[in-house]
Amino acid sequence: MTHINYMRISSIDIGSNAIRQIIVEVNTDSFARNQWIIHKKFRVPLRLGSDVFKYGSIQPETAQELVATFKKMAKLNKKYRVQKNMAVATSAMRDAKNNTAIVRFIQKQTGIKINVISGSTEAKYLQQSIIKSNLVNFKSSLLIDIGGGSLELTAIHNLAVHKSKSFPLGVVRLLSKIQRSQASTSHQIRFAIEKEMNKYIGPFYNKIVYRSFSNAIGTGGNFDALSKLKIDLLRTAPATNLSLKEVEAIYSKWLRLSLNQRLKLNIRKDRIDVLDIAIPLIILILKKFKIKKLKVPHTGLKEGVIHSLL
């Protein structure tokens, strides 16, 4: 009789726009390491980036909400008998002046240790999430992860990482900058995004040897929302594959919607304001790298963390 080993893992992503937890049961035998059963998903729309990108630190009220959130996640870990837990914090926590004190306090209160990871480590987890899930089936792809605080770009050639870089171009960070600049029209917002993008991405683009990409692979909540908007606004499937023309058509329709109309769509309410930033940013990146096909695999940092634990 064959004995199969199972393990329950909790993966927590402390982003700039939200906190996310996923609890899975994994077959730890090597032949099935990419397969797991999801037991619980938990998300709190706590926007750490709004504090950090404005004040430089996480404010007391937000810190209290953060601790309360981790207490809930610790209870979920206990309820689902989690054997391994890993929590990673990205751009906002990375930039917060008071991150050390907050991380220590959360561990003392809940027993959950938070790893504040670098942009390059974040990119590596995302790469694992994509490559180990066998989602890259093209000769060359550009992996794009758009978070609240940072943007990660990874050039894949022949299934190997050619070049990877993290940029301070997350949607909450950009939204904060644009609000301070008082840009209000879609044209002004797009111009401001393009200016920031060219400042950071231009040098990265010039260093890439292989500039011909079969497609782009987009990860993160903004791409997940974009795939839902394809169904809602264009009435076409599949949601996981989009052309540049479709993304531009979605943006055109999105701009014509009132707030009430947007609220009725199948997207998270806390995502609505940042999509004004995310969609034109996605279009500008695809155009910069001359990519006409986009794949949205609905996997990301949390899944990459699980792969790393295995």
Give the C-alpha separation, 160 to 162, whole Å: 6
Return the sign of the alpha-carbon dihedral for residues 167, 172, 173, 174. positive
Residues 6+ apart with CB under 8 A from 252: none
pTM of the full predicted structure? Answer: 0.88
Taken in order of first residue, the domains within the chain and their CATH numbers are 6-117 (3.30.420.40), 135-301 (3.30.420.150)
Q: What pLDDT does 204 receive?
A: 86
| Dist. CA 156–CA 153, nearest whole Å | 10
Q: Residue 252: what pLDDT?
A: 97
Q: Alpha helix (H) ranges present in the chain?
A: 48-55, 60-79, 91-95, 99-110, 119-131, 171-181, 186-207, 221-229, 244-255, 259-263, 272-288, 301-309
Output the tens digit of pLDDT for each of the chain's 310 residues. 455 678 899 999 999 999 999 999 988 765 455 578 999 999 999 999 999 999 999 999 999 999 999 999 999 999 999 999 999 999 999 999 999 999 999 999 999 999 999 888 888 888 778 777 666 566 788 999 999 999 999 888 877 778 888 999 999 999 998 988 887 888 999 999 999 998 999 888 888 777 788 899 999 899 999 999 999 999 998 888 999 999 999 999 999 999 999 999 989 998 999 999 999 999 999 999 999 999 998 887 888 888 887 7
pLDDT value of residue 1: 46
- In terms of DSSP bridges, do strands 6-14 and 84-89 run parallel, antiparallel, or are they unpaired? parallel
| CA–CA dist 166, 118 (Å, integer) | 9
pLDDT value at residue 58 = 96
Sign of CA dihedral 51, 52, 53, 55: positive
276 in Cβ contact with 106 (< 8 Å): no
Scored b (16 or more CB within 10 A) or e, 46-73 reads: bbbbbbbbeeebbbeebbebbeebbeeb
Q: What is the DSSP annotation of 1-29?
A: -----EEEEEEEEE-SS-EEEEEEEEE-S
**16 closest CA partner among 231, 172, 227, 236:** 172
